[in-house]
Chains A and B, each alone.
Chain A
Amino acid sequence: MFEIRWHGRGGQGSFTGAKLLGVAASIYDQQYAQAFPSFGPERRGAPVLGFNRIDSKKITDRSEIDTCDYIVYLDDTLYDDVVLNDLKNNDAMILINTQKESWHDRIKCIDATQIALETLGLPIANTVMLGFLASFASNAVTKEACIEAIRSSMKPSQADKNIKAFEIAFDKGGNL
Protein backbone atom coordinates (compact mmCIF):
# COMPACT_ATOMS: atom_id res chain seq x y z
CA MET A 1 0.00 0.00 0.00
CA PHE A 2 1.33 3.41 -1.01
CA GLU A 3 0.13 6.43 0.93
CA ILE A 4 0.69 9.89 -0.51
CA ARG A 5 -0.10 13.40 0.73
CA TRP A 6 -0.31 16.53 -1.39
CA HIS A 7 0.17 20.02 0.11
CA GLY A 8 -0.92 23.12 -1.73
CA ARG A 9 -2.97 26.25 -1.50
CA GLY A 10 -6.61 26.43 -2.57
CA GLY A 11 -6.59 27.07 -6.33
CA GLN A 12 -3.21 25.43 -7.07
CA GLY A 13 -4.84 22.14 -8.06
CA SER A 14 -3.31 19.89 -5.43
CA PHE A 15 -6.45 17.80 -5.10
CA THR A 16 -6.75 17.60 -8.88
CA GLY A 17 -3.21 16.18 -8.81
CA ALA A 18 -4.31 13.55 -6.29
CA LYS A 19 -7.37 12.77 -8.38
CA LEU A 20 -5.34 12.36 -11.58
CA LEU A 21 -3.00 9.99 -9.73
CA GLY A 22 -6.03 8.00 -8.49
CA VAL A 23 -7.49 7.76 -11.99
CA ALA A 24 -4.10 6.67 -13.36
CA ALA A 25 -3.56 3.94 -10.77
CA SER A 26 -7.12 2.60 -10.57
CA ILE A 27 -8.51 2.99 -14.09
CA TYR A 28 -5.40 2.75 -16.32
CA ASP A 29 -3.05 0.62 -14.16
CA GLN A 30 -5.97 -1.61 -13.09
CA GLN A 31 -5.02 -1.27 -9.42
CA TYR A 32 -7.08 0.16 -6.56
CA ALA A 33 -6.85 3.75 -5.37
CA GLN A 34 -8.48 6.31 -3.14
CA ALA A 35 -8.21 10.07 -3.55
CA PHE A 36 -9.64 12.41 -0.96
CA PRO A 37 -9.22 16.06 -0.02
CA SER A 38 -8.72 17.53 3.42
CA PHE A 39 -12.32 17.54 4.55
CA GLY A 40 -14.18 20.73 5.28
CA PRO A 41 -14.54 24.24 3.90
CA GLU A 42 -12.21 25.29 1.09
CA ARG A 43 -10.82 28.76 0.41
CA ARG A 44 -8.59 30.06 -2.35
CA GLY A 45 -5.08 30.58 -1.02
CA ALA A 46 -5.58 28.67 2.22
CA PRO A 47 -3.47 25.56 2.89
CA VAL A 48 -5.25 22.43 1.60
CA LEU A 49 -4.34 18.77 1.46
CA GLY A 50 -4.99 15.91 -0.92
CA PHE A 51 -4.46 12.24 -0.12
CA ASN A 52 -3.98 9.00 -2.07
CA ARG A 53 -3.89 5.36 -1.21
CA ILE A 54 -2.78 2.95 -3.96
CA ASP A 55 -2.70 -0.84 -3.67
CA SER A 56 -2.93 -3.96 -5.81
CA LYS A 57 -5.90 -5.16 -3.72
CA LYS A 58 -9.15 -3.49 -2.73
CA ILE A 59 -8.64 -0.68 -0.21
CA THR A 60 -11.08 -0.58 2.71
CA ASP A 61 -9.17 1.61 5.18
CA ARG A 62 -11.20 4.81 5.79
CA SER A 63 -9.04 6.33 8.53
CA GLU A 64 -6.92 9.43 8.03
CA ILE A 65 -3.43 9.06 6.55
CA ASP A 66 -0.60 9.99 8.92
CA THR A 67 2.71 8.53 7.68
CA CYS A 68 3.39 8.62 3.94
CA ASP A 69 5.52 7.08 1.20
CA TYR A 70 5.54 10.36 -0.68
CA ILE A 71 4.70 13.91 0.36
CA VAL A 72 4.28 16.41 -2.46
CA TYR A 73 4.43 20.21 -2.05
CA LEU A 74 3.01 22.45 -4.75
CA ASP A 75 4.06 25.48 -2.70
CA ASP A 76 7.34 25.58 -0.75
CA THR A 77 6.06 28.23 1.68
CA LEU A 78 3.96 25.47 3.27
CA TYR A 79 6.98 23.25 4.00
CA ASP A 80 8.39 22.72 7.48
CA ASP A 81 11.17 20.28 8.47
CA VAL A 82 8.85 18.65 11.03
CA VAL A 83 7.18 16.90 8.06
CA LEU A 84 10.26 14.66 7.77
CA ASN A 85 8.77 12.79 10.76
CA ASP A 86 5.77 11.82 8.62
CA LEU A 87 7.84 9.68 6.23
CA LYS A 88 6.97 6.01 6.51
CA ASN A 89 10.38 4.39 5.92
CA ASN A 90 13.84 4.94 4.43
CA ASP A 91 12.54 4.83 0.85
CA ALA A 92 9.93 7.50 1.51
CA MET A 93 10.59 11.00 0.21
CA ILE A 94 9.37 14.57 0.00
CA LEU A 95 9.00 16.27 -3.39
CA ILE A 96 8.91 20.06 -3.41
CA ASN A 97 8.12 22.68 -6.02
CA THR A 98 10.80 25.25 -5.24
CA GLN A 99 13.59 27.33 -6.74
CA LYS A 100 15.90 26.12 -3.98
CA GLU A 101 18.34 23.22 -4.15
CA SER A 102 17.58 20.17 -1.99
CA TRP A 103 18.75 20.63 1.63
CA HIS A 104 18.14 17.06 2.81
CA ASP A 105 18.79 13.60 1.35
CA ARG A 106 15.08 12.72 1.64
CA ILE A 107 13.97 15.83 -0.24
CA LYS A 108 13.87 16.18 -4.04
CA CYS A 109 13.34 19.62 -5.55
CA ILE A 110 12.08 20.87 -8.88
CA ASP A 111 11.13 24.33 -10.14
CA ALA A 112 7.71 23.13 -11.24
CA THR A 113 6.19 26.61 -11.44
CA GLN A 114 8.80 27.59 -14.04
CA ILE A 115 7.99 24.47 -16.11
CA ALA A 116 4.25 25.21 -15.79
CA LEU A 117 4.74 28.83 -16.91
CA GLU A 118 6.77 27.71 -19.92
CA THR A 119 4.49 24.91 -21.07
CA LEU A 120 1.01 25.92 -19.86
CA GLY A 121 1.43 29.68 -19.54
CA LEU A 122 -0.05 29.37 -16.02
CA PRO A 123 1.57 28.88 -12.60
CA ILE A 124 -0.47 25.69 -12.01
CA ALA A 125 2.08 23.01 -11.25
CA ASN A 126 -0.03 19.97 -10.36
CA THR A 127 0.61 17.94 -13.52
CA VAL A 128 4.30 18.91 -13.32
CA MET A 129 4.49 17.58 -9.78
CA LEU A 130 2.58 14.48 -10.87
CA GLY A 131 5.32 13.86 -13.44
CA PHE A 132 8.06 14.43 -10.85
CA LEU A 133 6.26 12.07 -8.42
CA ALA A 134 5.72 9.39 -11.08
CA SER A 135 9.45 9.36 -11.88
CA PHE A 136 10.19 8.21 -8.32
CA ALA A 137 7.00 6.25 -7.54
CA SER A 138 7.22 3.76 -10.41
CA ASN A 139 6.01 0.94 -8.15
CA ALA A 140 2.84 2.89 -7.38
CA VAL A 141 1.92 4.18 -10.83
CA THR A 142 3.16 3.97 -14.42
CA LYS A 143 4.05 6.91 -16.62
CA GLU A 144 1.66 5.69 -19.33
CA ALA A 145 -1.28 5.50 -16.92
CA CYS A 146 -0.66 9.07 -15.74
CA ILE A 147 -0.61 10.32 -19.33
CA GLU A 148 -3.88 8.51 -20.05
CA ALA A 149 -5.40 9.97 -16.88
CA ILE A 150 -4.46 13.51 -17.97
CA ARG A 151 -5.74 12.87 -21.50
CA SER A 152 -9.09 11.56 -20.29
CA SER A 153 -9.64 14.36 -17.76
CA MET A 154 -9.06 17.48 -19.89
CA LYS A 155 -9.94 19.07 -23.20
CA PRO A 156 -7.47 17.90 -25.91
CA SER A 157 -5.67 21.28 -26.18
CA GLN A 158 -5.20 21.42 -22.40
CA ALA A 159 -4.25 17.76 -22.19
CA ASP A 160 -1.45 18.06 -24.75
CA LYS A 161 0.22 20.90 -22.85
CA ASN A 162 -0.19 19.17 -19.51
CA ILE A 163 1.24 15.92 -20.85
CA LYS A 164 4.25 17.87 -22.11
CA ALA A 165 4.67 19.46 -18.67
CA PHE A 166 4.29 16.05 -17.05
CA GLU A 167 6.97 14.52 -19.30
CA ILE A 168 9.50 17.33 -18.70
CA ALA A 169 9.19 16.77 -14.94
CA PHE A 170 9.23 12.98 -15.31
CA ASP A 171 12.54 13.18 -17.20
CA LYS A 172 14.01 15.65 -14.70
CA GLY A 173 13.14 13.31 -11.84
CA GLY A 174 14.69 10.37 -13.67
CA ASN A 175 17.95 12.29 -14.11
CA LEU A 176 18.31 13.27 -10.44
Chain B
Amino acid sequence: MSRNAFLNGNEAVAYGVKLSRPNVVAAYPITPQTKAVEKISSFVQNGELDCEYMHVESEHSAMACSIGASSVGARTFTATSSQGLLYMAECLPYASGARLPIVMMNANRSLATPWNIYGDQMDTMFLLNSGWVQIFVEDAQEALDVTIQSFKLAEDVRVMAPVMVNLDGFVLTHTYEKVSIPSQEAVDQYLPPFKPSAHMMNDEEPMSMCITAGNQHNMEFKIKQHQELFNALHVFEEIDHSFNEKFGRSYGGVLEGYQNEDADYLLVTTGSVTGTARVVVDELRSKGVKAGIIKLRVVRPFPKEAMVRSVAGAKAIGIIDKNISFGYEGTIYTNVNSALLQRGLNLITLNFIGGIGGRDITKQNIEEMFEKLSTVSTSEAVDAVSYYNVRCSL
Protein backbone atom coordinates (compact mmCIF):
# COMPACT_ATOMS: atom_id res chain seq x y z
CA MET B 1 0.00 0.00 0.00
CA SER B 2 1.21 3.46 -0.80
CA ARG B 3 1.00 6.10 1.92
CA ASN B 4 0.82 9.89 1.92
CA ALA B 5 3.49 11.97 3.62
CA PHE B 6 4.31 15.68 3.79
CA LEU B 7 7.77 15.86 2.23
CA ASN B 8 10.07 18.39 0.65
CA GLY B 9 11.76 17.67 -2.68
CA ASN B 10 15.00 16.53 -1.03
CA GLU B 11 13.14 14.02 1.14
CA ALA B 12 11.05 12.87 -1.82
CA VAL B 13 14.26 12.04 -3.70
CA ALA B 14 15.61 10.24 -0.62
CA TYR B 15 12.48 8.06 -0.48
CA GLY B 16 12.78 7.40 -4.22
CA VAL B 17 16.38 6.28 -3.67
CA LYS B 18 15.47 4.08 -0.70
CA LEU B 19 12.71 2.36 -2.68
CA SER B 20 15.14 1.77 -5.58
CA ARG B 21 17.49 -0.18 -3.27
CA PRO B 22 20.89 1.11 -4.46
CA ASN B 23 23.95 -0.90 -3.41
CA VAL B 24 26.18 2.16 -3.09
CA VAL B 25 25.58 5.84 -2.35
CA ALA B 26 28.62 8.12 -2.44
CA ALA B 27 27.82 11.77 -1.80
CA TYR B 28 29.07 15.01 -0.33
CA PRO B 29 26.56 17.45 1.21
CA ILE B 30 26.00 20.89 -0.33
CA THR B 31 23.21 23.45 0.05
CA PRO B 32 20.43 23.04 -1.08
CA GLN B 33 20.88 19.26 -1.56
CA THR B 34 22.04 18.51 2.02
CA LYS B 35 18.70 17.23 3.35
CA ALA B 36 18.54 14.58 0.62
CA VAL B 37 21.86 12.94 1.48
CA GLU B 38 21.26 13.35 5.23
CA LYS B 39 17.98 11.49 4.87
CA ILE B 40 19.55 8.72 2.78
CA SER B 41 22.40 8.30 5.27
CA SER B 42 19.87 8.07 8.12
CA PHE B 43 18.00 5.35 6.18
CA VAL B 44 21.30 3.44 5.96
CA GLN B 45 22.15 4.14 9.61
CA ASN B 46 18.81 2.87 10.96
CA GLY B 47 18.81 -0.20 8.74
CA GLU B 48 15.91 0.80 6.46
CA LEU B 49 18.25 0.75 3.46
CA ASP B 50 20.86 -1.99 3.02
CA CYS B 51 23.49 -0.02 1.17
CA GLU B 52 27.13 1.03 1.37
CA TYR B 53 27.11 4.77 2.15
CA MET B 54 30.49 6.28 1.31
CA HIS B 55 31.27 9.51 3.19
CA VAL B 56 33.64 11.04 0.65
CA GLU B 57 35.64 14.23 1.12
CA SER B 58 34.56 15.99 -2.07
CA GLU B 59 32.25 15.84 -5.06
CA HIS B 60 35.12 14.79 -7.29
CA SER B 61 35.56 11.74 -5.05
CA ALA B 62 31.81 11.20 -4.91
CA MET B 63 31.73 10.73 -8.67
CA ALA B 64 35.01 8.77 -8.74
CA CYS B 65 33.59 6.35 -6.13
CA SER B 66 30.30 6.14 -8.03
CA ILE B 67 32.22 5.20 -11.18
CA GLY B 68 34.12 2.49 -9.28
CA ALA B 69 30.95 1.08 -7.71
CA SER B 70 29.00 1.14 -10.95
CA SER B 71 31.93 -0.55 -12.77
CA VAL B 72 31.39 -3.72 -10.74
CA GLY B 73 27.64 -3.70 -11.35
CA ALA B 74 26.45 -1.97 -8.17
CA ARG B 75 23.31 0.15 -8.43
CA THR B 76 24.78 3.56 -7.57
CA PHE B 77 23.38 6.93 -6.55
CA THR B 78 24.91 10.30 -5.79
CA ALA B 79 23.64 13.86 -5.37
CA THR B 80 25.09 17.32 -5.67
CA SER B 81 24.49 20.94 -6.64
CA SER B 82 26.11 23.97 -8.25
CA GLN B 83 29.86 24.24 -7.49
CA GLY B 84 29.78 20.60 -6.39
CA LEU B 85 28.48 19.55 -9.79
CA LEU B 86 31.22 21.56 -11.47
CA TYR B 87 33.84 20.05 -9.17
CA MET B 88 32.83 16.57 -10.32
CA ALA B 89 32.64 17.71 -13.96
CA GLU B 90 35.90 16.03 -14.91
CA CYS B 91 34.44 12.66 -13.91
CA LEU B 92 31.09 13.00 -15.68
CA PRO B 93 32.29 12.09 -19.21
CA TYR B 94 34.24 9.18 -17.69
CA ALA B 95 30.94 7.81 -16.38
CA SER B 96 28.97 8.38 -19.57
CA GLY B 97 31.75 7.18 -21.87
CA ALA B 98 32.10 3.97 -19.87
CA ARG B 99 28.28 3.58 -20.13
CA LEU B 100 27.81 3.41 -16.37
CA PRO B 101 24.15 3.67 -15.24
CA ILE B 102 24.73 6.01 -12.27
CA VAL B 103 21.78 8.11 -11.09
CA MET B 104 22.45 11.57 -9.65
CA MET B 105 20.19 14.19 -8.14
CA ASN B 106 21.22 17.76 -8.85
CA ALA B 107 19.70 20.63 -6.88
CA ASN B 108 19.81 23.43 -9.44
CA ARG B 109 21.70 26.33 -7.90
CA SER B 110 23.47 29.46 -9.04
CA LEU B 111 27.21 29.57 -9.79
CA ALA B 112 29.81 31.92 -8.29
CA THR B 113 30.85 34.72 -8.70
CA PRO B 114 28.96 36.48 -7.07
CA TRP B 115 28.56 33.62 -4.60
CA ASN B 116 24.92 32.63 -4.14
CA ILE B 117 23.18 29.56 -2.77
CA TYR B 118 19.78 30.14 -4.40
CA GLY B 119 18.25 28.40 -7.36
CA ASP B 120 18.81 28.80 -11.08
CA GLN B 121 19.76 26.37 -13.83
CA MET B 122 23.20 27.69 -14.75
CA ASP B 123 24.94 24.70 -13.12
CA THR B 124 23.33 21.94 -15.12
CA MET B 125 23.46 23.80 -18.44
CA PHE B 126 27.24 23.77 -18.04
CA LEU B 127 27.12 19.96 -18.27
CA LEU B 128 24.73 19.49 -21.19
CA ASN B 129 27.62 18.07 -23.24
CA SER B 130 28.67 15.56 -20.59
CA GLY B 131 26.81 12.60 -22.09
CA TRP B 132 24.40 12.38 -19.16
CA VAL B 133 20.64 12.20 -19.58
CA GLN B 134 19.20 15.36 -18.03
CA ILE B 135 15.66 15.35 -16.64
CA PHE B 136 13.89 18.26 -14.92
CA VAL B 137 11.02 17.76 -12.45
CA GLU B 138 8.22 20.09 -11.40
CA ASP B 139 7.24 18.99 -7.89
CA ALA B 140 8.13 16.63 -5.05
CA GLN B 141 5.95 13.77 -6.30
CA GLU B 142 7.58 13.90 -9.72
CA ALA B 143 11.00 14.00 -8.00
CA LEU B 144 10.26 10.76 -6.14
CA ASP B 145 8.77 9.03 -9.17
CA VAL B 146 11.48 10.12 -11.61
CA THR B 147 14.20 8.98 -9.20
CA ILE B 148 12.81 5.44 -9.41
CA GLN B 149 12.30 5.74 -13.18
CA SER B 150 15.85 7.01 -13.66
CA PHE B 151 17.39 3.75 -12.46
CA LYS B 152 15.19 1.86 -14.90
CA LEU B 153 16.17 4.24 -17.69
CA ALA B 154 19.90 4.28 -16.95
CA GLU B 155 20.11 0.48 -16.64
CA ASP B 156 18.10 -0.28 -19.78
CA VAL B 157 20.44 -2.15 -22.11
CA ARG B 158 19.37 0.12 -24.99
CA VAL B 159 20.45 3.21 -22.99
CA MET B 160 23.27 2.38 -20.52
CA ALA B 161 23.87 6.02 -19.69
CA PRO B 162 24.05 7.96 -16.43
CA VAL B 163 21.00 10.07 -15.53
CA MET B 164 20.83 13.42 -13.78
CA VAL B 165 17.55 14.37 -12.06
CA ASN B 166 17.30 18.14 -11.68
CA LEU B 167 15.27 19.87 -8.95
CA ASP B 168 15.12 23.66 -8.66
CA GLY B 169 17.07 24.60 -5.55
CA PHE B 170 14.92 25.66 -2.56
CA VAL B 171 11.71 26.08 -4.60
CA LEU B 172 11.55 22.29 -4.90
CA THR B 173 14.23 21.02 -2.52
CA HIS B 174 12.82 22.94 0.48
CA THR B 175 9.08 23.09 -0.21
CA TYR B 176 6.97 20.51 1.62
CA GLU B 177 3.87 19.09 0.00
CA LYS B 178 1.77 15.94 0.00
CA VAL B 179 3.58 13.05 -1.66
CA SER B 180 2.36 9.52 -2.22
CA ILE B 181 5.13 7.07 -1.28
CA PRO B 182 4.71 3.78 -3.16
CA SER B 183 5.09 0.50 -1.29
CA GLN B 184 8.45 -1.28 -1.39
CA GLU B 185 6.71 -4.34 -2.78
CA ALA B 186 5.32 -2.41 -5.76
CA VAL B 187 8.67 -0.75 -6.50
CA ASP B 188 10.46 -4.12 -6.21
CA GLN B 189 8.13 -5.50 -8.86
CA TYR B 190 8.63 -2.46 -11.07
CA LEU B 191 12.40 -2.12 -10.63
CA PRO B 192 14.09 -5.50 -10.10
CA PRO B 193 17.76 -5.61 -9.01
CA PHE B 194 20.21 -4.43 -11.66
CA LYS B 195 21.44 -7.28 -13.87
CA PRO B 196 24.82 -6.11 -15.09
CA SER B 197 25.89 -7.03 -18.59
CA ALA B 198 28.98 -9.17 -19.14
CA HIS B 199 30.94 -5.96 -19.56
CA MET B 200 31.53 -5.41 -15.85
CA MET B 201 34.65 -5.48 -13.75
CA ASN B 202 35.08 -8.74 -11.83
CA ASP B 203 37.80 -10.92 -10.29
CA GLU B 204 37.39 -13.95 -12.53
CA GLU B 205 37.63 -12.18 -15.86
CA PRO B 206 39.81 -9.12 -15.40
CA MET B 207 39.35 -6.41 -17.99
CA SER B 208 40.27 -2.84 -18.65
CA MET B 209 37.54 -0.20 -18.40
CA CYS B 210 37.68 3.55 -19.04
CA ILE B 211 40.21 2.58 -21.68
CA THR B 212 42.30 4.62 -24.03
CA ALA B 213 41.14 4.90 -27.64
CA GLY B 214 43.47 6.78 -29.95
CA ASN B 215 42.71 8.50 -33.19
CA GLN B 216 42.07 5.14 -34.85
CA HIS B 217 38.95 4.45 -32.76
CA ASN B 218 38.05 7.39 -30.56
CA MET B 219 35.60 9.06 -32.92
CA GLU B 220 33.66 5.82 -33.38
CA PHE B 221 33.30 5.45 -29.61
CA LYS B 222 31.92 8.97 -29.37
CA ILE B 223 29.51 8.55 -32.27
CA LYS B 224 28.18 5.26 -30.87
CA GLN B 225 27.68 6.88 -27.49
CA HIS B 226 25.92 9.84 -29.10
CA GLN B 227 23.63 7.71 -31.25
CA GLU B 228 22.62 5.40 -28.44
CA LEU B 229 21.87 8.27 -26.05
CA PHE B 230 18.91 9.08 -28.32
CA ASN B 231 17.40 5.73 -27.27
CA ALA B 232 16.74 7.32 -23.90
CA LEU B 233 13.90 9.29 -25.51
CA HIS B 234 11.67 6.37 -26.47
CA VAL B 235 12.74 4.25 -23.50
CA PHE B 236 11.69 7.12 -21.20
CA GLU B 237 8.31 7.22 -22.98
CA GLU B 238 7.94 3.46 -22.36
CA ILE B 239 8.88 3.95 -18.72
CA ASP B 240 6.33 6.75 -18.29
CA HIS B 241 3.71 4.37 -19.67
CA SER B 242 4.67 1.34 -17.57
CA PHE B 243 5.00 3.50 -14.44
CA ASN B 244 1.50 4.84 -15.04
CA GLU B 245 0.14 1.32 -15.37
CA LYS B 246 1.75 0.30 -12.09
CA PHE B 247 1.36 3.46 -9.99
CA GLY B 248 -1.32 5.52 -11.76
CA ARG B 249 0.82 8.56 -12.48
CA SER B 250 1.91 9.72 -15.95
CA TYR B 251 3.96 12.81 -16.69
CA GLY B 252 3.71 12.77 -20.46
CA GLY B 253 7.12 11.30 -21.32
CA VAL B 254 9.91 13.47 -22.70
CA LEU B 255 7.68 16.54 -22.60
CA GLU B 256 4.19 17.40 -21.45
CA GLY B 257 1.84 19.68 -23.33
CA TYR B 258 -0.59 21.65 -21.16
CA GLN B 259 -3.44 23.30 -23.10
CA ASN B 260 -1.12 23.22 -26.11
CA GLU B 261 -3.25 21.56 -28.77
CA ASP B 262 -5.17 24.64 -29.94
CA ALA B 263 -2.81 27.19 -28.38
CA ASP B 264 -1.79 30.33 -30.26
CA TYR B 265 0.87 31.23 -27.69
CA LEU B 266 3.09 28.70 -25.99
CA LEU B 267 5.67 28.88 -23.24
CA VAL B 268 8.41 26.25 -23.10
CA THR B 269 9.30 25.64 -19.45
CA THR B 270 11.60 23.43 -17.39
CA GLY B 271 11.15 22.51 -13.73
CA SER B 272 9.13 24.31 -11.07
CA VAL B 273 8.17 27.44 -13.04
CA THR B 274 5.87 25.16 -15.04
CA GLY B 275 3.49 25.00 -12.08
CA THR B 276 3.23 28.78 -11.78
CA ALA B 277 2.70 29.01 -15.54
CA ARG B 278 -0.21 26.52 -15.27
CA VAL B 279 -2.02 28.97 -12.94
CA VAL B 280 -1.52 31.81 -15.45
CA VAL B 281 -2.63 29.67 -18.41
CA ASP B 282 -5.83 28.69 -16.55
CA GLU B 283 -6.59 32.38 -15.93
CA LEU B 284 -5.85 33.37 -19.54
CA ARG B 285 -7.96 30.51 -20.89
CA SER B 286 -10.90 31.71 -18.76
CA LYS B 287 -10.56 35.07 -20.56
CA GLY B 288 -10.49 33.37 -23.97
CA VAL B 289 -6.74 33.69 -24.62
CA LYS B 290 -5.41 30.53 -26.24
CA ALA B 291 -2.32 30.10 -24.07
CA GLY B 292 -0.49 26.86 -23.40
CA ILE B 293 2.68 25.28 -22.05
CA ILE B 294 5.25 22.80 -23.27
CA LYS B 295 6.93 21.39 -20.17
CA LEU B 296 10.31 20.17 -21.38
CA ARG B 297 11.18 17.24 -19.11
CA VAL B 298 14.21 15.79 -20.88
CA VAL B 299 16.78 18.31 -22.15
CA ARG B 300 19.45 15.69 -23.03
CA PRO B 301 18.90 13.87 -25.23
CA PHE B 302 16.86 16.68 -26.77
CA PRO B 303 13.35 15.54 -27.84
CA LYS B 304 13.43 17.26 -31.21
CA GLU B 305 10.55 15.43 -32.88
CA ALA B 306 8.23 15.69 -29.85
CA MET B 307 8.99 19.40 -29.54
CA VAL B 308 8.27 20.09 -33.21
CA ARG B 309 5.00 18.09 -33.06
CA SER B 310 3.83 19.86 -29.90
CA VAL B 311 4.33 23.45 -31.05
CA ALA B 312 3.35 23.09 -34.71
CA GLY B 313 0.05 25.00 -34.54
CA ALA B 314 1.23 27.96 -32.48
CA LYS B 315 1.67 31.56 -33.67
CA ALA B 316 4.48 32.43 -31.27
CA ILE B 317 6.55 30.54 -28.70
CA GLY B 318 8.38 31.86 -25.66
CA ILE B 319 11.20 29.89 -24.11
CA ILE B 320 11.85 30.49 -20.40
CA ASP B 321 15.52 30.08 -19.52
CA LYS B 322 16.73 30.15 -15.91
CA ASN B 323 20.25 30.42 -17.29
CA ILE B 324 22.33 32.66 -19.54
CA SER B 325 24.92 31.34 -21.95
CA PHE B 326 27.11 34.43 -21.52
CA GLY B 327 27.70 36.18 -24.79
CA TYR B 328 24.74 34.57 -26.55
CA GLU B 329 21.27 33.80 -25.09
CA GLY B 330 19.42 31.27 -22.94
CA THR B 331 20.62 27.73 -23.63
CA ILE B 332 17.20 26.11 -24.06
CA TYR B 333 16.22 28.88 -26.49
CA THR B 334 19.15 27.90 -28.74
CA ASN B 335 18.17 24.23 -28.53
CA VAL B 336 14.48 24.80 -29.34
CA ASN B 337 15.27 27.12 -32.25
CA SER B 338 17.59 24.54 -33.77
CA ALA B 339 14.88 21.87 -33.61
CA LEU B 340 12.26 24.10 -35.21
CA LEU B 341 14.53 25.29 -38.02
CA GLN B 342 15.64 21.75 -38.88
CA ARG B 343 11.99 20.84 -39.45
CA GLY B 344 11.25 23.99 -41.42
CA LEU B 345 9.00 25.52 -38.74
CA ASN B 346 9.55 29.22 -39.14
CA LEU B 347 7.75 30.34 -35.98
CA ILE B 348 8.26 33.47 -33.94
CA THR B 349 10.31 32.53 -30.91
CA LEU B 350 11.25 34.78 -28.00
CA ASN B 351 13.59 34.12 -25.10
CA PHE B 352 12.42 35.01 -21.59
CA ILE B 353 15.25 34.92 -19.08
CA GLY B 354 14.33 34.95 -15.39
CA GLY B 355 14.85 33.31 -12.05
CA ILE B 356 18.62 33.86 -12.00
CA GLY B 357 20.24 33.55 -8.56
CA GLY B 358 16.92 32.81 -6.87
CA ARG B 359 14.94 35.74 -8.30
CA ASP B 360 11.20 34.99 -8.25
CA ILE B 361 9.32 34.49 -11.50
CA THR B 362 5.90 35.90 -10.63
CA LYS B 363 2.52 35.16 -12.16
CA GLN B 364 2.55 38.74 -13.43
CA ASN B 365 5.90 38.10 -15.17
CA ILE B 366 4.38 35.11 -16.96
CA GLU B 367 1.31 37.16 -17.96
CA GLU B 368 3.71 39.74 -19.41
CA MET B 369 5.45 36.99 -21.38
CA PHE B 370 2.17 35.83 -22.92
CA GLU B 371 1.25 39.48 -23.57
CA LYS B 372 4.51 39.96 -25.45
CA LEU B 373 3.94 36.78 -27.47
CA SER B 374 0.45 37.93 -28.46
CA THR B 375 1.57 41.36 -29.67
CA VAL B 376 4.74 40.46 -31.56
CA SER B 377 4.25 39.99 -35.27
CA THR B 378 7.77 39.16 -36.43
CA SER B 379 10.91 38.07 -34.61
CA GLU B 380 12.92 40.76 -36.35
CA ALA B 381 10.90 43.59 -34.86
CA VAL B 382 11.93 42.98 -31.24
CA ASP B 383 14.91 41.92 -29.21
CA ALA B 384 14.56 38.16 -29.05
CA VAL B 385 15.95 38.01 -25.53
CA SER B 386 14.26 39.81 -22.64
CA TYR B 387 14.65 39.65 -18.86
CA TYR B 388 11.96 39.48 -16.18
CA ASN B 389 11.69 40.86 -12.65
CA VAL B 390 14.94 42.77 -13.08
CA ARG B 391 16.02 45.76 -10.98
CA CYS B 392 18.77 47.16 -13.23
CA SER B 393 18.36 49.16 -16.43
CA LEU B 394 18.51 47.08 -19.59
Binding site for B on A (CB under 8 A): 19, 22-23, 26-27, 32-37, 39-41, 59-64
Contacts of A61 in B (CB 8 A): 275-276, 279, 363
B178 at the interface (CB under 8 A from A): yes
Q: How far is the CA of A64 from the CA of B171 in the complex (A)?
A: 9
Check B6–A19 contact: CB distance below 8 A.
yes
B44 at the interface (CB under 8 A from A): no
Contact with B5, one of A27, A34, A40 (Cβ below 8 angstroms): A27
Beyond the given pairs A36-B171, A60-B278, A62-B171, 7 more chain A to chain B contacts, judged by CB atoms under 8 angstroms and listed by A's residue number, are: A22-B6, A22-B176, A26-B4, A26-B6, A34-B177, A39-B118, A62-B172
Q: How far is the CA of A78 from the CA of B276 in the complex (A)?
A: 30
B139 at the interface (CB under 8 A from A): yes
Check B177–A32 contact: CB distance below 8 A.
yes
Q: How far is the CA of A62 from the CA of B8 in the complex (A)?
A: 13
Check A60–B360 contact: CB distance below 8 A.
no
Check A63–B276 contact: CB distance below 8 A.
yes
Check B273–A40 contact: CB distance below 8 A.
no
Q: How far is the CA of A23 from the CA of B8 in the complex (A)?
A: 12
If A40-B117, A41-B117 touch, whether A64 touches B362 (CB-CB below 8 Å) is yes
Chain B CB count within 10 A is highest, among A23, A37, A63, for: A63
Contacts of B117 in A (CB 8 A): 40-41
User: Per DSSP, are chain A's interface residues mostly helix, strand or loop, or mixed?
Assistant: mixed
Closest 3 CB pairs of A and B: A60-B275, A39-B170, A26-B178
Contacts of A19 in B (CB 8 A): 6, 176
26 chain-A/chain-B pairs, Cβ below 8 angstroms = A26-B6, A26-B177, A27-B5, A27-B178, A33-B177, A34-B177, A35-B6, A35-B177, A39-B32, A39-B118, A39-B119, A39-B174, A40-B117, A40-B358, A41-B117, A59-B177, A60-B138, A60-B274, A60-B279, A61-B363, A62-B168, A62-B172, A62-B273, A62-B275, A63-B276, A63-B363
Check A63–B360 contact: CB distance below 8 A.
yes
Which range contains the number of B residues in contact with the other chain? 20 to 34
Q: How many A-B residue pairs have CB under 8 A?
A: 73
Q: How far is the CA of A84 from the CA of B136 in the complex (A)?
A: 38
CB distance from B93 to the nearest CB of A (A): 32
CB distance from A38 to the nearest CB of B (A): 10
Check A36–B174 contact: CB distance below 8 A.
yes
Q: How far is the CA of A61 from the CA of B283 in the complex (A)?
A: 13
Q: How far is the CA of A33 from the CA of B179 in the complex (A)?
A: 11
Q: How far is the CA of A62 from the CA of B362 in the complex (A)?
A: 9
CB distance from A47 to the nearest CB of B (A): 17
Check A35–B176 contact: CB distance below 8 A.
yes
B361 at the interface (CB under 8 A from A): yes
B272 at the interface (CB under 8 A from A): yes
Q: How far is the CA of A63 from the CA of B274 in the complex (A)?
A: 11
Chain A CB count within 10 A is highest, among B174, B273, B274, B358, for: B174
Contact with A60, one of B8, B178, B276, B361 (Cβ below 8 angstroms): B276
CB distance from A151 to the nearest CB of B (A): 14
